[in-house]
Amino acid sequence: MPSAPDITAFFDEATNSVSYLVADPASGLAAVIDPVLDFDGASGRIGTGSADKLLAVAAAKGLTIAWVLETHAHADHLSAGSLIRERTGAKIGIGAGIREVQQAFAPMLAVDDLRPDDFDRRFEDGDTISVGELTIEVLMTPGHTPACVTYRVGDAAFVGDTLFMPDYGTARCDFPGGSARQLFRSLHRILALPRDTRLFTCHDYKAPGRDVFAWETTVGEQIDHNTHVGDGVEEEAYVAMREARDATLKAPKLLYPAIQVNIRGGRLPPADDQRRRYLVLPLTF
């Protein structure tokens, strides 16, 4: 019988983000999904506390990290993917749609140093990778962004920002390349998995009336109770709701810092001759 994944979640309350350490107990190999690099926007200070904690748990369990898997190029936290690769030798993977995200944002953010090796793999739909005895399958689930993928392993699926907890709903679609119609179809691809499939989200914001953070649900719970797409909501109704809601949303507070780091695979902008690094903030009038 193949191994069942051992899953450890790490919640970063500063960004409401969840990272995962997904391990194969048989071999001691592991993948990290959506790791967070600490960043204080007011001071520009970078920190590694979140990644350090994850790596310490991996070391305590005797795990070797083979992969860093990004569900998409996040707009709300900086990725620690490059840091973890540097420390562990792991490979970084993301959906092939990252090319479209890079094309949209690189000129806007004066990013002119993208490298082929910022990502070791750009996954296509149906690709698989092995982590010991675990097989991780890639499902393309765009709509929030063109690069969004879901990673399925055993009875678990890591859905990124595509779905939130049932009482909070689904992802926004107003970033470049986003599409509410495409997201609806991606959602139903996830919801076509067996009802008992465990779904792990990348964020939680505690919906009104809920006092604790949560990030694990099931396909069945989403079908029955998701406030946006559950209980048989049809495509046209979903698209109308999603587009109207998106029109009221503000940009994520870390949008520009996050994107210009994350389209580089978590690599920071290059240093100048004084060893200083800068993030770009486009101005609008």
pLDDT tens digits, one per residue of 137-182: 999 999 999 999 999 999 999 999 999 999 999 999 999 999 999 9
Q: How many CB atoms lie within 10 A of CB 98?
A: 25
Please name the residues in contact with 4: beta carbons below 8 A apart, sequence gap of 6 or more.
25, 154, 155
Q: Determine, yes or no, domain membership for 240.
A: yes
Q: Using CA atoms, how far apart are residues 179 and 108, in angstroms rounded to an integer?
A: 20
Q: Provide the token pair at 230.
A: 């559950």
Indicate if the pLDDT at residue 1 is higher than 60: no
Q: Determine, yes or no, domain membership for 269.
A: no
The pLDDT of residue 2: 60
For residue 9, what are the β-bridge partners?
A: 20
Q: Using CA atoms, how far apart are residues 91 and 86, in angstroms rounded to an integer?
A: 10
Whether the CB-CB separation of 50 and 12 falls below 8 Å is answered with yes
Q: Determine, yes or no, domain membership for 267.
A: no
Structural domains of the chain, count: 1
Indicate if the pLDDT at residue 285 is higher than 90: no
Indicate if the pLDDT at residue 254 is higher than 60: yes
CATH number at residue 62: 3.60.15.10
Q: Provide the token pair at 84.
A: 């973890």
Q: Determine, yes or no, domain membership for 282.
A: no
Residue 213's SS3 state is coil
Q: Determine, yes or no, domain membership for 271.
A: no
The two most distant CA atoms of the chain are separated, in Å, by 60
pTM (two decimals): 0.96
Q: Using CA atoms, how far apart are residues 257 and 119, in angstroms rounded to an integer?
A: 19
Q: Determine, yes or no, domain membership for 274.
A: no
Indicate if the pLDDT at residue 19 is higher than 90: yes
Q: Determine, yes or no, domain membership for 144.
A: yes
Helix orientation angle between 235-246 and 180-191, rounded to the nearest 10 degrees: 120
Q: Give the residue numbers spanning the domain of 149.
A: 6-262
Task: Report pLDDT digits (tens) over 180-236.
Answer: 999 999 999 999 999 999 999 999 999 999 999 999 999 999 999 999 999 899 999
Q: Determine, yes or no, domain membership for 281.
A: no
C-alpha 217: how far from chain center: 16
Q: Using CA atoms, how far apart are residues 97 and 11, in angstroms rounded to an integer?
A: 26
Residues in the chain: 285
